[in-house]
Amino acid sequence: MAAADRILIVSPVYNEGAHLDRTARAVADQDRPPDRWVIVDDGSSDDTLEVARRWERRLDYVTVLEAPQDVPVGADNLALARPVLAFNLGLDEADWRQFDYVGKLDGDVELPRQWFATLLERFRADRTLGLAAGRLAEPSPRGWQLIPIPATHIHGAVKLFSRDCFEAIGGIPARLGWDTIDETYARMRGYETTSFADLVARHHRPWGSADGRLRGRARHGQCAWVLHYGFGWVALRSLKVARVPPVGISGAAFLFGYCRAAVRGVPQVEDDEFRRFVRRELRARMLKPLSLRTG
């Protein structure tokens, strides 16, 4: 890979006026800033668009777009992945195939200065790495706390794909569960997906809180159904989710979302290869602690 590898970042934003300045300052201060940053406002009712336009005037690699508001997405905009529609709009506008890496960055994330420089180093060191990011920390009464995730999962708020990987998976689908569907297909296509624990960004709006924490937990339970996760795994996962505020109820909301989706027959990923791959991965994750204890 050449030293001149080019990075495209797209930020779909909605009512991020309270956070976008902080995100933009962090991007501007990067040791290795992106070559193009497209901010797509999705009909914000606050001053998000005004803030974005201000940064467009300050940084020559920033472009601001306004997403059309006449696209039918249903009542639950987040669940139907409206941000992905805005993301794909930004990709098309920037002609993403002209870049070596394409990424998504939410408008409420504060990146450390070395974020992009470090990720480029990791991609260059490992040709199999297709999707990568660092970890996210969120504010809590005890200070900034890391969001617990598997090392192979990449937060939807911060993603960076190699162009080859992005082409291989066919891009990001505008549907519920997109931020796990993409990484699963990446591994299916032979790419590694990694969240590096030594690279931590601050997420200023807590996970799943955009339209209520409990609704966010229920939506993630519904995602588990869409992704073909088995009930046994979901039940165990709900016990872990129950540890985060609101304690206990969070886990119940997660399990409820899964069961409600099953009862309603919410469409799952229509790919038998995907379903088999997901089940194999989940079995391996569940059996790993046992093998470590008996090894």
Strands, E, within 147-225: which ranges?
A: 158-162, 192-203
Q: H-type helices in 59-104, by residue range?
A: 82-94
> Under 8 Å CB-to-CB from 263, ≥6 apart: which residues?
none
Look at the pTM and tell me if it is higher than 0.85.
yes
Strands, E, within 163-276: which ranges?
A: 192-203
Please say whether the beta carbons of 69 and 85 come within 8 A. Answer: no
CATH number for the segment(s) 7-203? 3.90.550.10
Please say whether the beta carbons of 34 and 100 come within 8 A. Answer: no
Mind listing the pLDDT tens digit of every residue in the chain (295 residues)?
445 799 999 999 999 999 999 999 999 999 999 999 999 999 999 999 999 999 999 999 999 999 998 765 554 445 456 889 999 999 999 999 999 999 999 999 999 999 999 999 999 999 999 999 999 999 988 899 999 899 999 999 999 999 999 999 999 988 889 999 999 999 999 999 999 999 999 999 875 444 467 888 998 999 999 999 999 999 999 998 898 778 899 999 999 999 999 999 999 999 999 999 999 999 888 776 544 344 4
Q: For position 148, what pLDDT does the model report?
A: 87
> Under 8 Å CB-to-CB from 66, ≥6 apart: which residues?
40, 41, 43, 49
Distance between CA atoms of residues 11 and 31, nearest Å? 19
Q: Are strands 192-203 and 158-162 parallel, antiparallel or unpaired?
A: unpaired
CA torsion, ordered 191, 5, 49, 45, to nearest 10 deg: 0
Domain residue ranges in the chain = 7-203, 213-294
Q: For position 141, what pLDDT does the model report?
A: 83
Q: For position 246, what pLDDT does the model report?
A: 83
Q: For position 290, what pLDDT does the model report?
A: 45
